Amino acid sequence: MEDSKFIPSGGFVPGKKPRRGAQDELDMLSYYSQEGWILEQFTSMGFLLKKKEPQTTAYLYDCAEHTRAEMPAYIARFAGQGWEYVTSCGEDCHFFKAPAGTPRPETAGEEGESPFTPLPGQPAPPPPAPVTRQSVQSCLRMSILFWLLGVAALVLSAMGRVGGIAVLQMAALALAVLFLFVGSTYFLNFLFTRSQLKSAGRGEDDQK
For residues 201, 202, 207, 208, the Cα torsion angle rounded to the nearest 10 degrees is 80
Domain borders along the chain are 4-108, 133-207
- Asked if 96 and 42 count as a contact pair (C-beta separation under 8 A), the reply is no
Chain-wide mean pLDDT for the chain? Answer: 80
| Res. 193: pLDDT tops 80 | no
Give the Å distances, CA to CA, from 41 to 7, 34, 45, 47, 142.
Answer: 11, 18, 11, 6, 27
Paired residues of 5 in beta bridges: 49
Segment 133-149 mean pLDDT: 84
For the purposes of burial, counting CB atoms within 10 Å of the CB of 120, is it exposed (0-12), middle (13-18) or buried (19 or more)? Answer: exposed
- The predicted pLDDT at position 64 comes to 85
Segment 72-95 mean pLDDT: 91
Categorize the per-residue pLDDT at 79 as very low, low, confident or very high, splitting at 50, 70 and 90: very high
How many CB atoms are located within 10 Å of the residue 14 CB? 14
53 versus 165: the higher-pLDDT residue is 53
Q: How far apart are CA 199 and CA 128, in angstroms?
A: 16
208 versus 42: the higher-pLDDT residue is 42
- The predicted pLDDT at position 199 comes to 66
Paired residues of 46 in beta bridges: 8
- Answer yes or no: pTM beyond 0.95: no
- The predicted pLDDT at position 120 comes to 45
